């Protein structure tokens, strides 16, 4: 029987769910959804999976797919596609997912490399992986260091750079084909102030594009056969030169 390990990652995501429902959290998710609309390939998927995170994130319902699942520690009876599980131990077989969404899961994870390795084992060749997270080079990260945004980002949250995630994914056979940053506004708590600074999104994307508070990263799992390129032509050339010298 499949047993569900209660990891610290899942517990942190459950405790932080109320933070994502704040005015700042809602604004951040709107920015991420707009970016994801541009980055996610509009094709027909066989199996789409979202690992934990709030159920209203991204455009998950608008994706065309034969089957959809949202994996979380607790069953959401309001969703027909909700199942119980954790990211470090996905309840799916090998190469059975062709679209996987990790909404801020790495930020709350103790061992992100283990989680990404589990994701790689479950994804099909050319499967799409979408990751959202907090940017360590942003105003939000600076305020977190001084513990000024505990209502949005708990102190236990870790900020991983896109460069670090790119390195982890490359080791697992993924290729990043798109990455964008968003939410360039100061993280004010009042919705009225956030609304007035909406134009900062356009200015930030143009003038300081890598300093957004969040990132949206889209990667594709490469076919392992296509990554192996033996140099047979060079081998034959060396053999011919060896015979010619003798």
**Tell me: the pLDDT tens digits for 44-72?**
888 889 887 655 555 566 677 778 888 87
Q: Which pLDDT score is estimated for 73?
A: 67
Say if 54 falls within a structural domain.
Answer: yes
Instruction: Report the domain count for the chain.
Output: 1
Q: For residue 179, what are the domain limits?
A: 8-245
Indicate the burial class of 55 (C-beta count within 10 angstroms; 0-12, 13-18, 19 or more). middle
Does 186 map to a domain? yes
Quick check: is 205 in a domain?
yes
Q: Residue 99's pLDDT band (boundaries 50, 70, 90)?
A: very high
**What is the predicted pLDDT for the residue at 18?**
59
Is 2 inside a domain boundary? no
Query: What confidence tens digit (pLDDT) does each residue in 105-120 have?
Result: 898 888 899 999 999 9
Residue 1 maps to a domain: no
pLDDT digits (tens, 9 = 90+) for 180-204: 999 999 888 888 888 899 999 999 9
CATH no. for residue 184? Answer: 3.40.50.150
Evaluate if pTM is beyond 0.75: yes
Q: Which residue shows structure tokens 């499949």?
A: 2
Section 86-101 average pLDDT: 88
In a domain, 3, yes or no: no
pLDDT, mean of residues 207-231: 78
């Amino acid at each position: 029987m499949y047993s569900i390990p209660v990891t610290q990652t899942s517990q942190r995501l459950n405790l932080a769910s109320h933070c994502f429902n704040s005015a700042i959290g809602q604004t951040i998710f709107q920015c991420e959804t707009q970016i994801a609309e541009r980055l996610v390939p509009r094709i027909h998927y066989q199996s789409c999976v979202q690992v934990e995170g709030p159920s209203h994130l991204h455009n998950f319902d608008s994706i065309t797919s034969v089957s959809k699942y949202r994996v979380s520690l607790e069953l959401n009876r309001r969703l027909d596609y909700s199942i119980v599980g954790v990211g470090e131990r996905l309840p799916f077989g090998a190469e059975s997912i062709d679209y996987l969404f990790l909404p801020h899961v790495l930020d709350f994870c103790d061992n992100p490399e283990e989680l990404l390795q589990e994701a790689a084992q479950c994804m099909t060749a050319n499967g799409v992986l979408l990751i959202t997270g907090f940017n360590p080079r942003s105003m939000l990260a600076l305020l977190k260091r001084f513990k000024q945004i505990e209502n949005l980002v708990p102190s236990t949250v870790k900020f991983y750079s896109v460069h670090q995630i790119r390195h982890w994914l490359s080791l697992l056979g993924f290729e990043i084909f798109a990455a964008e940053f968003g939410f360039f506004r100061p993280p004010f708590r009042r919705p009225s102030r956030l609304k007035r600074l909406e134009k900062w999104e356009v200015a930030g994307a143009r003038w300081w594009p890598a300093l957004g508070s969040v990132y949206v990263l889209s990667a594709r799992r490469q076919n392992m056969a296509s990554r192996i390129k033996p140099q047979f032509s060079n081998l034959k050339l060396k053999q011919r030169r060896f015979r010619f010298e003798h």
